[in-house]
Structure 1
Amino acid sequence: MTTSWIVLDIEGTTSSTASVHVGLYAYARPRLGRWIDEHGDNPEVRAAVAQVGLPPGAATEEVVKVLHEWMDGDVKATPLKTLQGQIWAAGFAAGELTAHFFPDVPPALRAWRAAGRHLAVFSSGAVSSQRPWFRHGAEGDLSALIERHFDTVNAGPKREAASYARIAEALGDPGASGEPPLFLSDVPAELDAAAAAGWRTTGVRRPGEPSENADFGTHPVITSFEELR
């Protein structure tokens, strides 16, 4: 492995899907309305509520109803991700949440950084939730290992090549290796988009995860980060 930048997906790649959909979603769901009401002066909260698309002055209950529908449909909507990210960050800070990582992930991240690799994250989860996720794992604080964070707000949709082009530009010079970034994900469509932008790609097939039986096409596939050399 000669690439300078390794860019990681989270859900299904570094961490179980259930830890997000069951753990984090269940934590955020009943707190959305109270969070909106208690943080109405926060510009990001106001912007997120406006982006839900309801008429100005809509009741919080109406806003929450749309947010819950998005959650039920696993819709990657930016205002939902923004509000969830803020709630999760508060939960991590309060010690009420702990991030999950597959056992091979923490040692691999540490080894890659020790070998001079640069690590970034590209997840549909907001950057505001990515940072505490890596800071509050059961295996210790991993946040210092991650140099850059990208989400659908600062990069774009994960299934569009243009998003990966933006990230590559933000990452800058590929370094001495001259290799493009390497993207690790459990979602073939995301790998296709990254490859279309000229990236190297590797599919991550985790046992028991939704993409365990996915068709990764021509993308190399691993079942553990230990296999990536």
Structure 2
Amino acid sequence: MTTRYCDTADVILLDIEGTTTPVDYVFGVLFPFARDHVADFLTIHQHKAEVQTDLQWLRQEYETDLAQGLSVPDWNFTEVTAAVPYIHHLITIDRKSTGLKSLQGKIWEQGYRDGILRSQIFADVKPAFERWTTAGKKLFIFSSGSIQAQQLLFRYSEVGDLTGFLGGYFDTQTGSKKEAQSYRKIASAIGVAPEKILFISDVTAELKAAQVAGMQTLFSVRLGNHSSESEGFPAIVNFDCV
């Protein structure tokens, strides 16, 4: 019988970018789409309560940046589109901003529904999802993208709707992906001991945090990832051995 990395885990917790989905889809498709459509989106949807909440989060973040002496674009708050330069700035630096991620998810939803966007998933992901669920494993996602954005990505994928395989999603509202407490919160929310959870990511700082929390870890090495240095973590190039 083939031994797999997931054999001693009851739950598999997955990162998205660089793990289930090419980095280039996020940076080369999703981010530019949000950047190009944010002004029109805000103009049309500015009166919706959930959009106002995103803008409030972003304004608080902007004021924090100013207080810290960071260089940011001017935002005079006179009209809704005045927020666009600051939003563009956050996209450019890829800040893990709750307000930004929430707003991006709403913009992407329209693109997915219109058929403009179809998310890219590595070829081994769907077969792995099928194999893991057949084996009784529960699957969850932990990404810096909003829960809405995560759900959209797996619902509107090029290989079909994969959301039926997933038991739940966690985002930055749980906490930073680089802090052990976030992984403890996830284990508690799922109701499984951390040592029974296998976390797979392409970022070693995240793996270190998950390891401190007691989780099993694997480093994802995919074509186009920012780094292939596993820093001692067991590394995989696909999910075939997991």
Match of 1:76 among 96, 101, 113: 96
Structure 1 contact 4–179 (Cα < 8 Å) conserved = no
Task: Check if 1:102 corresponds to 2:118.
Answer: no
Unaligned runs of 5+ in 2: 1-6, 63-74
Query: Match of 1:113?
Result: 133
Query: Match of 1:46?
Result: 52
Please give the alpha-carbon distance, in whole angstroms, between the structure 2 residues aligned to 1:108 and 1:62.
Answer: 45
- The farther-off stretch of 61-70 and 47-56 is 47-56
Structure 2 contact 218–236 (Cα < 8 Å) conserved = yes
Query: Match of 1:188?
Result: 204
Structure 2 contact 221–235 (Cα < 8 Å) conserved = yes
Please give the alpha-carbon distance, in whole angstroms, between the structure 1 residues aligned to 2:192 and 2:172.
Answer: 22
Displacement of 1:56 in angstroms is: 8.2
Displacement of 1:2 in angstroms is: 2.2
Match of 1:168 among 179, 187, 203: 187
Task: Check if 1:151 corresponds to 2:171.
Answer: yes
Please give the alpha-carbon distance, in whole angstroms, between the structure 2 residues aligned to 1:56 and 1:147.
Answer: 42
Displacement of 1:98 in angstroms is: 0.3
Structure 1 contact 181–199 (Cα < 8 Å) conserved = yes
Query: Match of 2:224?
Result: 208
Query: Match of 2:71?
Result: none
- The farther-off stretch of 34-43 and 195-204 is 34-43
Instruction: State, as a whole percentage, how many aligned pairs show the same letter.
Output: 37
Match of 1:63 among 68, 78, 83: 83
Query: Match of 2:27?
Result: 21
Instruction: Give me the CA root mean square deviation.
Output: 1.6
Please give the alpha-carbon distance, in whole angstroms, between the structure 2 residues aligned to 1:116 and 1:29.
Answer: 40
Deviations 1:98-125 (A, max 9, x none): 0101111111111101111000000011
Structure 2 contact 15–141 (Cα < 8 Å) conserved = yes
Displacement of 1:173 in angstroms is: 3.4
- What's the TM-score once normalised by structure 2's chain length? 0.87
Deviations 1:20-53 (A, max 9, x none): 1111111111211221222223222111111222
Please give the alpha-carbon distance, in whole angstroms, between the structure 2 residues aligned to 1:173 and 1:224.
Answer: 25
Q: Which amino acid aligns with 1:168?
A: A
Query: Match of 1:223?
Result: 237
Aligned residues: 222
Matched residue SS, 1:52: helix
Matched residue SS, 1:71: helix
Q: Which amino acid aligns with 1:222?
A: I
Please give the alpha-carbon distance, in whole angstroms, between the structure 1 residues aligned to 2:221 and 2:88.
Answer: 29
Structure 2 contact 18–202 (Cα < 8 Å) conserved = yes
Q: Which amino acid aligns with 2:191?
A: G
Query: Match of 1:142?
Result: 162
Please give the alpha-carbon distance, in whole angstroms, between the structure 2 residues aligned to 1:83 and 1:207.
Answer: 29
Structure 1 contact 120–147 (Cα < 8 Å) conserved = yes
